[in-house]
Structure formats: C-alpha cells, structure tokens
Amino acid sequence: MLKRCVIVGGADIGDYERIRERISGDEVFIFCDSGLRHMEALHRRPDLIVGDFDSHENPHMDVETIVLPHVKDDTDTVFAVKEALRRGFEEFLLLGVVGGRLDHTLGNLAILLMLDSAGKKALIMDDYSDMEIVSGESAFIPDSYGYFSLLNISGTARGVNVKNALYPLRDAEITCEFPLGVSNEVLPGRTAEVSVKEGRLLLIKVCGSAS
C-alpha cells in the first residue's frame, strides 16, 4: 500500500509544531514551488518538487523535479495532486494551501471536491483547523475540537444529520445561499457524527478554542 502523500503549497504556515505532530515521518512529500520555503521548518526533504518557479527559485536539489510552463491550465498545486493521483496515492494531506489570496484558497478547497470525486481520502490543515469533505461516509468530530462548521460549496446537500452536538440536525437541507452549519460545538465527552444522504459538505474542524 502506498504511503500518504503530503502536498505543500506556498501559503503561510505559522504553527509548524501542530503540523509536525500530525506527520508520522513515513509520508511522501511533494513541494510545490514556493512551498519549498516550508521545507526546513517542517523538517522534511522533498520526494518530488513541482512548479513553474515564478515565486521561488528552482533549488536544483538532487530530487526528482518537474518544471512546469508558466502558461498552463493547472496551478502548481493542482498539477501536484493530479501527478500524485497518477502515481496511485489514496490518501492526501495538503499543507500551505489556504490563507492569503482568496482565489488560491477557494481553488485549493475545490481540490478536496476533486479528490472526493476520485474516491480518495483528503485533508487540508492550516494553523487553526482541519478541513475535509463529507459525502458518502459519516465523519466524526471528537470534543477536542473547539468548534466545527458545515458549509456547502457544491450545490445543495440533503438528508444532513448532525448528532452529539450543541445544534443537532435531522434530515436537514443545506444550500450554498444560507450558512446554516457555522460554528457548532461537540457535546462535552461525546463524539459528534455528521452524515449526508445527498450532496457534499465541507467540514471544518476548528482546533482548541479558536474562534
């Protein structure tokens, strides 16, 4: 079985310790262009480097490197994900892909939808939260998370159920127009469960007491 693929983009990362605690040391790392600036702080050497090197110079390391053209359809991050899919990876962790420019953030959140459509397990981490798609299988949120939100970024979700939370839902509908699922809380000592019968939702699990 292939190891988990970690893809590192160039958005700011402040809490490197939080990320290092979630890395086993057995993953395959792909660094995208300016994501290389996180290499030292993450204590990881690239297994693959991709990019057009418009925001970071090519380090010319003794590492497999794919140099992309400046004019292309895919961003460096999207190309890295597609390349990892081509190589057969089933599980993905994306770092340094949200924050800063909103257009890049929204584009990278769409990668979660792409990977969900491909039947792959994927997570985005930033300094404050863990983000994933809820679709066919239930998602579980332990009470170690301060808050969690359910947002619709792909149409209408029906048959939404939220259990063991301050604001439960049963067979609800969540659309893109009304953010019904923002800032819920897991009941103390419980594990919340989220499920969707039709459609998909973005689950954002907020760490600690961040608000």
Per-residue tokens: 162: 């939220």
- pLDDT confidence of residue 209: 55
The average pLDDT across 175-186 equals: 89
- pLDDT confidence of residue 2: 77
What percent of the chain is predicted at pLDDT more than 90? 77
Average pLDDT, the chain: 92
174 pairs with which residues across the strands? 157
Asked whether residue 56 carries a pLDDT value surpassing 60, the answer given is yes
Decide if domain 134-207 falls under CATH 2.60.120.320: yes
The average pLDDT across 100-116 equals: 93
* Cα distance between residue 84 and residue 108, in whole Å: 15
- pLDDT confidence of residue 4: 94
Topology of the domain covering 5-127? Rossmann fold (3.40.50)
Asked whether residue 53 carries a pLDDT value surpassing 90, the answer given is no
Give the residue from 204, 20, 42, 19 showing the smallest Cα distance to 129: 204
- pLDDT confidence of residue 54: 82
Asked whether residue 1 carries a pLDDT value surpassing 80, the answer given is no
Helix, strand, coil percentages in the chain from 3-state DSSP, rounded to 5: 20, 35, 45
Global confidence as pTM: 0.92
The average pLDDT across 118-129 equals: 96
Domain residue ranges in the chain: 5-127, 134-207
